[in-house]
Chain A
Amino acid sequence: MAENVTDQRRQEDEAAASSSSPSTPEGLTAPAKGPRFKRDVIFDVEDINVYYGDHKAIRDVTLDLHVNEITALIGPSGCGKSTFIRCLNRMNDLIPSARVDGKIVYHGEDLYGSDIDAVQVRKRIGMVFQKPNPFPKSIYDNIAFGPRVMGMKGDMDEIVERALKRGALWDEVKDRLKTNAFGMSGGQQQRLCIARALATEPDVLLMDEPCSALDPISTGRIEDLMSELKQEYSIVIVTHNMQQAARVSDMTAFFTVELHDEGKSRTGAIVEFDETDKIFTNPEDKRTEDYVTGKFG
């Protein structure tokens, strides 16, 4: 920018102009994204409606979730993100007034089919919650609990070690496996809960705001862990932190709240579901744009 470089710049400009290739008659355009590499679908969700009693909590949710991808669910409070993620491992069955309409096909099978055992579903589809919730037991017993209940075969020490390694916790706790899990830090407790969910060999991990009670360092660890885990698992995460969604996820679904009866009744609905990159650089829907840019929410 100094004067003495302007001449050099001119030369560069001229060199660039003279070297511009005549073989690109259509000119420079941003590379159009080719068809995205198609992964296998793990959840084929069709027209899901969830009711709590007479109240419709979410309506008409249709989307495909893919194997070895992290899908983030974002949206304002009360938009049904948590209600939706709980449908994916039949957690809503535990709420007496809840009713789920529609179809969720998991590995080609109807998740809500009459012959499906909800306990087996939750073994294959693990869940981690907002607050770390270890059992008041030793670190070892926390991990071993699920495999024992499931009657999993094999060396329990190996199962525990494998789960703790996958949860990126092994090196920190290998010398104190028999101590109470409550003695761990919040971030360690949350990784313990992730390791516990992984101990039953699931193929999906559902995470409902897993970092909202954690400090930034612990959050970073969990995010790194998620990126490693997606090599082997499919992950669905509910998050209020949009930067977290942008950082970790491959796909993002934006949910919104629709108000009825002068605001007395609220129903969640999906607005846009696309690649995370698209959602955060050039969303299709104005409502998504307003939410991610912070103009509404």
Chain B
Amino acid sequence: MPASQRLHFQEELARLEEQALGALDLVVTTLDRTLEALHHRDIELAAIVIQDDDRIDGRYLEVHQGILSLLALQAPVASDLRVVAALLHVIKHAERMGDQCVNIAKLLPLTGHEPPVDEEILAKVEKMGALARSEVSQSKQAFLLRDVALAEDLVRQDAEINQLNKEIFRRAVEVGGDPDVREWGMTMMLVARSMERIGDNAVDVGEQVAFVVSGLFREFSDASHR
């Protein structure tokens, strides 16, 4: 079978990978806007984040359909099959991360106009956001380069996010005595929770990198101990 006969297939697979990894770029942009909306308490920007999630959802449907067609028409095997299977996961995780941004954006108006804030919680939530953004970028890069070491490094960053999540919880309990800050603090706990989930999704993308390269699926870190 001359190589040229599979050329169309290889191009199609490369295009699907570009589209799926592009969804992670969309997530980074959405996350940037979400963090900005959080920082400036910008309700309009939060509304745009909610509205714009349709783009990530649309990308999900596009890649999903493309993968089904590729499976049906080209019957990929071996490393090609692993890439196709991994892309299905990647696009799903991207779609979930987009949803988490929507969750955060929906929480922001609930805090009310110029609520009393706790600076420590706010700083930690923003730090979590920056770390989550970095994880998403890195997971994309690791997939693009098939770099397992880079993918495994996500666990280190994710541990930091998880630690911040716990600290925010503790601090929210501490400031919960003050009825003025209580509601805002609880909302921030939910925001932190969404960011923590984005980090987990990025680690999951990293696990797909290791699967594509080695053919074996393994969890980088134990979910029950994260």
Interface residues of A (CB under 8 A from B): 1-3, 6-7, 9-10, 13-14, 17, 20-30, 76, 242-243, 246, 280-283, 288-289, 292-297
Contact A26:B215 (CB < 8 A) given known A1-B99, A6-B99, A293-B6: no
A297–B2 Cα gap in the complex (Å)? Answer: 6
Contacts of A13 in B (CB 8 A): 197
Q: Is the CB of B224 within 8 A of A294?
A: no
CB within 8 A of B79: which of A2, A7, A26, A293? A293
A–B complex contacts, Cβ < 8 Å, 7 sampled = A1-B95, A13-B197, A27-B219, A27-B223, A28-B222, A280-B78, A280-B81
Q: Is the CB of A24 within 8 A of B224?
A: yes
Q: Is the CB of A282 within 8 A of B78?
A: yes
Task: Report the minimal beta-carbon distance from B61 to chain A, rounded to whole angstroms.
Answer: 8
A297–B215 Cα gap in the complex (Å)? Answer: 23
Q: Is the CB of B78 within 8 A of A292?
A: yes
Task: Report the minimal beta-carbon distance from A9 to chain B, rounded to whole angstroms.
Answer: 6
Task: Report the minimal beta-carbon distance from B107 to chain A, rounded to whole angstroms.
Answer: 10
A22–B221 Cα gap in the complex (Å)? Answer: 13
Q: Is the CB of B102 within 8 A of A246?
A: no
Asked if B75 CB lies within 8 Å of chain A CBs, one says yes
Per-residue A-contact encoding for B129-144, CB less than 8 Å = 1, 0 else = 0000000000000000
Q: Is the CB of B77 within 8 A of A246?
A: yes
Residue from B50, B224, B225 having most chain A Cβ neighbours under 10 A: B224
Per-residue A-contact encoding for B173-196, CB less than 8 Å = 1, 0 else = 000000000000000000001100
Majority SS at the chain A contact face: loop
Q: Is the CB of A21 within 8 A of B224?
A: yes
Q: Is the CB of A1 within 8 A of B194?
A: no
Interface residues of B in 63-86 (CB under 8 A from A): 75-82
Interface residues of B (CB under 8 A from A): 1, 3, 5-6, 9, 50, 53, 57, 60, 75-82, 95-96, 99-100, 102-103, 106, 193-194, 197, 215-225
Q: Is the CB of A29 within 8 A of B218?
A: yes
Q: Is the CB of B224 within 8 A of A295?
A: no
Contacts of A3 in B (CB 8 A): 50, 53, 102
A294–B9 Cα gap in the complex (Å)? Answer: 10
A58–B215 Cα gap in the complex (Å)? Answer: 31
Q: Is the CB of B76 within 8 A of A293?
A: yes
Q: Is the CB of B99 within 8 A of A281?
A: no
The 5 closest A-B pairs by CB, nearest first: A282-B215, A27-B222, A294-B6, A27-B219, A30-B217
A227–B79 Cα gap in the complex (Å)? Answer: 27
Contacts of B78 in A (CB 8 A): 280-283, 288-289, 292-293
Contacts of B193 in A (CB 8 A): 14
Q: Is the CB of B222 within 8 A of A25?
A: yes
Task: Report the minimal beta-carbon distance from B133 to chain A, rounded to whole angstroms.
Answer: 20
Q: Is the CB of B215 within 8 A of A296?
A: no
A242–B5 Cα gap in the complex (Å)? Answer: 15
Q: Which residue of A lies closest to B223 (CB)?
A: A20
A154–B100 Cα gap in the complex (Å)? Answer: 75
A24–B96 Cα gap in the complex (Å)? Answer: 25
Task: Report the minimal beta-carbon distance from B92 to chain A, rounded to whole angstroms.
Answer: 10
Q: Is the CB of B80 within 8 A of A293?
A: yes
Contact A25:B225 (CB < 8 A) given known A30-B216, A293-B76, A293-B78: yes
Contacts of B103 in A (CB 8 A): 6-7, 10
Q: Is the CB of B81 within 8 A of A281?
A: yes
Q: Is the CB of A282 within 8 A of B219?
A: no
Q: Is the CB of A22 within 8 A of B6?
A: no
Contacts of A243 in B (CB 8 A): 75
Task: Report the minimal beta-carbon distance from B39 to chain A, rounded to whole angstroms.
Answer: 22
A20–B224 Cα gap in the complex (Å)? Answer: 5
A296–B76 Cα gap in the complex (Å)? Answer: 14
Q: Which residue of B lies closest to A289 (CB)?
A: B78
